[in-house]
Homo-oligomer: A and B are copies of this chain.
Amino acid sequence: MKKYVYLFEENRYSEKNLFLLGNKGVQLAEMSSIGLPVPPGFTITTEACNLFYTNNKKWPAGLESQVFEKLKKVEMKMKRKFGDKKNPLLFSVRSGSYVSMPGMMDTVLNLGLNDETIEGFAKSINSERGAWDSYRRFLNMFGDVVLKVPHEEFEKILSAKKKSKAVKNDTDLNVNDLKELVEEYKELIKKKTGKPFPQNPKEQLIKSINAVFNSWNIPRAVSYRRINKLREDAGTGVNVQTMVFGNLGNDSGTGVSFTRNPSNGKKEHYGEFLLNAQGEDVVAGIRTPKPVDELKKVMPKVYAELLKVYDKLEKHYKDVQDFEFTIERGKLFILQTRAGKRTPAAAVKIAVDLVKEKMISKETALMRVKPEQISAILHKQFDAEEKKKKEILAKGLNASPGAAVGKLVFTAEKAKELHDENPSLELILVRTETSPEDIEGMHVAKGILTARGGMTSHAAVVARGMGKPCVAGCSAIEIDEEKRIMEVKGKKFSENDFISLDGATGEVFEGKLSLVEPKFSADVKTLLSWADKIRTLGIRTNADTPHDSIVAREFGAEGIGLCRTEHMFFEKDRIKAVREMILSDSKEAREKALTKLLPFQRSDFEGIFKAMHNLPVTVRLLDPPLHEFLPKEEKEQEELAKDMNWTLDKVKARVNSLHELNPMLGFRGCRLGVVYPEINEMQVKAIIEAAINLKKKKINAMPEIMIPVLGHVNEMKLMRELVKNTAEKTMKEHKTKINYLIGVMMELPRACLTADEIAEYSDFFSFGTNDLTQTCFGFSRDDAGTFIPAYIEKKILLDDPFASLDQTGTGQLIEISVKKGRKIKPKLKLGICGEHGGDPSSIEFCHKTGLNYVSCSPFRVPVARLAAAQAVLKQKKK
């Protein structure tokens, strides 16, 4: 019979076991094996969970018998029995998939308590109060998670009880109060479910395991997987573990800790604990816990043991660990461990430090940092000078670094709604505390502010994972969710007010602070220097101005992969000449207007070439349809008419005649060059003259002239001729020589399919994957917003293909081009200049496909450097 259930000690960590047992299960197995004090128990495999789903929510044959067989072994080890009246063994039942999904799935604690075992349990732990507290907690949790009685109903009864007993804290309730609560909870369950609370421990266990299986597919878990791109088919393992109790009095407690500071990466103890409490009290952020080092004062012996645990975990796992512990009457238990989620800055520092500490190799360090984390580090900061002068409105915990400015929004749903209406709206989500249901709202917010909860609260953990600024536990603020008002120091803020958060300091400011570009830390520089040694892909940037070029070069760009000449056309001093050129009736008039534009273009190129001295600069010739440059408003058209000495009607007629039904597929790119060669001739002349002028100043320009929107080899023959003739004529006039290349922007399927023909006349190909995605899918980027969200929701597409390259379809066109192009010219230079050039998974694809470089926006350059190195390492691994 298939084995569905493993005792912790029956396994060790392995890739295979990670998927079989889930992350938590395999970590429990591993921890048991390295001698950490783990409460014994067993793991039900993810396979069983998947069979549960395929089998109409029934257990596979053999699972039940295996569960109770392993349970018996645990009973033997613990010398206690499940359901025993005198000395009952209690269990926790927890979920655990191959990747930790904190708080997303369900958990049941204190399983095994009932009206009969409660007395024996009380005796065995020598605390009647502790036992009844556990029982009422169990009823609440089991009622909520397994029997679907809303948590709020239990909370209402608890609050009423505290009120009637005139106490403030749960801990102030006495045994009798708790006994009353137990009875009232049981009543509630009976009333809500129509059946009495199940007293049979075996029934409790089976139902709880089912609840965990079911929680794999509850909406928040599905959302989380979608946002984090986790596998939908993985299933969850179920960990059934002996309960230990942190709530047996002040010699007991519970806590969570990281082996290093997950916020800044420093090698220091980082964590919190609560005395006389169970684990969920810390994680849920309901009571504010104390820093872990304070344990030294309260329980020095336990603290000493904990120090050994820190050491053992890091030495064994060679990474920062995030673990939960419970102290039961002075005895330390480790309940779980996992790789600690950390801020991007911490991720880099920890990776670099671990190399310095000789714990990991540089290669491992490079794989430890996600490229997106490098992007997050580049997140904006507040202007320091401005901030100094600004009064702090409130201060909370510095839960996740980065600065954010936005309008207040008080619920996740509202945040999502506003975002869907206008994705560029900047929002700050303000909550008393966040819960897993808030995930999507957090995802669309620029930053998160909570009134309660600690550094490991839901809000803090999730925000760090997202690389989003978060200030948590900001107790100075009061929130009225109903009225959508936040009150701070008597001041009221509502939905139309802006606030600014600094997640690195925990400071909250009124209004909008200015944001400034961030700077690289030494650690980032170190890490990226390692990346540079490993990667084989070149990293260029898409830049249209000298300023962008300089920024990008500082970030490590090795040239420009896309310089869009038309962006220069829109500038105020030249748009008039551009319009004159477009409206010209004759070639002569057009050439006259172009003569006016030439000096502008030439000086633009000079600036860019200078910034990119000794590095290649790919200049794309005019790309967009001409009507984009013409005024749409009558007032502007009137002005233009005056300038041109035309009638308004004539201007209007010309604007209308240039109107297109599908401009994306219209008269643009090299089609303009075919019909109006003089436009491109002017551009080439400007490029070559700019290079010549710089040559005189010993600055080496390396222009690569790129022909856009090309689909046919005959276009390339013609355009190559045009560029060559113009360049040679210009060089002859100036009696000098400039090296330049002529290549193609590969952005149409036909160009890719005939890449062999086109390669003959091309020095390079640069894949314009934005347009290539449009034509490959038949999606207009401007219009696809009406259906792409539905496509992602219905899982037709896993990603927006404009954000992450569709490797199956669009990628296939690139592969075809590479194969055909290199067949003709084995050394053909190949690059990508679409938005995908800065997307890590697309970069990995480019590496695998044999491209020479990727080109992305300046701020993505460091991300691309890391991603390119990881691509090498991943390929090596395979």
Q: Given A667-B783, A776-B748, A776-B753, decide whether A796 and B718 contact each other with a Cβ distance below 8 A.
A: yes
Residues on the B chain within 8 Å of A671, using CB: 787, 791
Which residue of B715, B750, B810 is within 8 Å of A776 (Cβ)?
A: B750
Flag if B813 contacts A749 (CB, 8 Å). Answer: yes
Do A674 and B787 touch across chains, with their CB atoms under 8 A apart?
A: yes
B667 touches A753 (CB 8 A): no
Nearest-CB distance from A171 to chain B (Å)? 52
Interface: A775 (CB within 8 A) = yes
A754 close to B662 (CB less than 8 A): no
Q: Is A794 an interface residue (CB 8 A)?
A: yes
A169 within 8 A of B: no
Q: Annotate A517-551 by CB proximity to B: 1 below 8 A, 0 otherwise.
A: 00000000000000000000000000000000000
The 7 closest A-B pairs by CB, nearest first: A665-B780, A662-B780, A750-B809, A714-B796, A666-B783, A749-B749, A661-B782
Q: A808 contacts the other chain (Cβ, under 8 Å)?
A: yes
Q: How far is the CA of A757 from the CA of B796 in the complex (A)?
A: 13
Question: Are A711 and B809 interface neighbours, CB within 8 A?
Answer: yes
Interface contact A776-B775, CB-CB below 8 Å: yes
Report the separation of the CA atoms of residues A751 and B99 in the bound assembly, to the nearest whole angstrom. 34
CA–CA, A709 to B718, complex, Å?
34
B residues within 8 A CB of A715?
796
Interface string of A763-798 (1 = CB under 8 A from B): 000000001001111111011101100110011110
Residues in B neighbouring A771, C-beta threshold 8 A: 778
Q: What residues of B have a CB within 8 angstroms of the CB of A665 in the complex?
A: 662, 664-665, 774-775, 778-780, 783-784
Minimum C-beta distance from A518 to chain B (A): 35
> Complex formed: what's the CA distance from A675 to B783 in Å?
14
Indicate if A571 sits at the interface (CB-CB under 8 A): no
Residues of B with C-beta under 8 A to A813: 749, 753
Residue with the highest number of chain B CB atoms closer than 10 Å, among A791, A795, A796:
A796
B674 and A786 within 8 A (CB): no
Task: Name the CB-closest residue of B to A774.
Answer: B665
Contact status A786-B666, CB under 8 Å: yes
What is the 8 Å Cβ interface bit string for chain A, positions 581-613, against chain B (1 contact, 0 not)? 000000000000000000000000000000000
Closest Cβ neighbor of A748 among chain B residues: B778
Is A783 within 8 A of B718, CB to CB? no
Closest to A809 in B: B750
Beta-carbon nearest neighbor of A750 in chain B: B809
On whether A674 and B748 interact (CB within 8 A), knowing A662-B780, A775-B778, A780-B666, the answer reads no
Known contacts: A711-B778, A771-B778. The answer to whether A750 contacts B810 by CB under 8 A is yes
Distance between A815 CB and nearest chain B CB, rounded to angstroms: 10
A124 within 8 A of B: no
What CA separation (Å) do A747 and B775 show in the bound complex? 11
Quick check: A778 and B709 within 8 Å, CB to CB? yes
- Chain B residues within 8 Å of A779, by CB: 665, 711
Evaluate contact between B753 and A796: CB separation under 8 angstroms. Answer: no
| A–B complex contacts, Cβ < 8 Å, 30 sampled | A661-B783, A662-B780, A662-B782, A663-B780, A663-B783, A665-B775, A665-B780, A665-B783, A665-B784, A666-B780, A667-B783, A711-B779, A712-B796, A712-B797, A714-B796, A715-B796, A718-B794, A747-B778, A748-B776, A748-B777, A748-B778, A749-B776, A749-B778, A750-B777, A750-B806, A750-B810, A753-B812, A754-B808, A754-B809, A771-B778
Residues on A lying within 8 angstroms of B by beta carbon are: 660-667, 671, 674-675, 709, 711-712, 714-715, 718, 747-750, 753-754, 757, 771, 774-780, 782-784, 786-787, 790-791, 794-797, 806, 808-810, 812-813
Question: Shortest Cβ distance from A114 into chain B, in angstroms?
Answer: 47
Bound-state CA distance A754–B718 (Å) is 33
A667: which of B663, B787, B794, B797 is its contact (CB, 8 Å)? B787
Q: When chains A and B are docked, how far (Å) is the Cα of A783 from the Cα of B663? A: 8
- Kindly list chain B residues whose C-beta atoms are within 8 Å of the C-beta of A797: 712, 714
Q: Which residues of B contact A675 (CB under 8 A)?
A: 786-787, 790
Nearest CB in chain B to that of A669: its residue: B778
Contact B782 A667 (CB under 8 A): no
Identify 13 new A-B residue pairs, CB closer than 8 A, beyond the known A753-B776, A753-B808. A661-B783, A662-B780, A662-B783, A665-B779, A665-B784, A711-B809, A715-B796, A747-B778, A749-B776, A749-B809, A749-B813, A750-B776, A754-B808
Residues of B within 8 A of A782 (CB): 660-662
* Complexed CA–CA distance, A432 and B714 (Å): 41
Q: Which residues of chain B are within 8 angstroms of A664 by Cβ–Cβ distance?
A: 661-662, 665, 778, 780
Which B residues are CB-close (under 8 A) to A794?
A: 674, 714, 718
Which B residues touch A780, using CB under 8 A? 660-666
Q: Which residues of B contact A774 (CB under 8 A)?
A: 665
Question: Min CB distance, A797 to chain B, in Å?
Answer: 7
Q: Shortest distance in angstroms between A591's beta carbon and chain B's nearest beta carbon?
A: 18
For residue A795, which residues in chain B have a CB less than 8 angstroms away from its CB?
714
* Residues of B with C-beta under 8 A to A663: 661-662, 780, 783
Per the bound structure, the CA–CA distance linking A433 and B674 in Å amounts to 37
Distance to closest chain B CB from A789 (angstroms): 10
CA distance A714 to B777 in the complex (A): 13
A663-B662, A783-B667, A787-B671 given; A753·B809 CB < 8 A: yes
- With CB as the reference atom, state the residue of chain B lying closest to A812: B753
Nearest CB on B from A667, distance (A): 5
Contact partners of A718 in chain B: CB under 8 A: 794, 796
Bound Cα distance A674, B791 (Å): 8
> What residue of chain B has the Cβ atom nearest to residue A710's Cβ?
B778
Bound-state Cα–Cα, A808 to B809, Å: 19
In the assembled complex, the CB of A535 is this many whole angstroms from the nearest CB of chain B, namely 29
A47 to B145, CA, bound (A): 91
A786 to B672, CA, bound (A): 10
CA distance A281 to B526 in the complex (A): 92
Closest to A717 in B: B796
Which of chain B's residues have a CB closer than 8 A to the CB of A667?
783, 786-787
* A774, B749: Cα distance in complex, Å: 10
Q: A778 to chain B: which residues have CB within 8 Å?
A: 664-665, 709, 711, 747-750, 771, 775
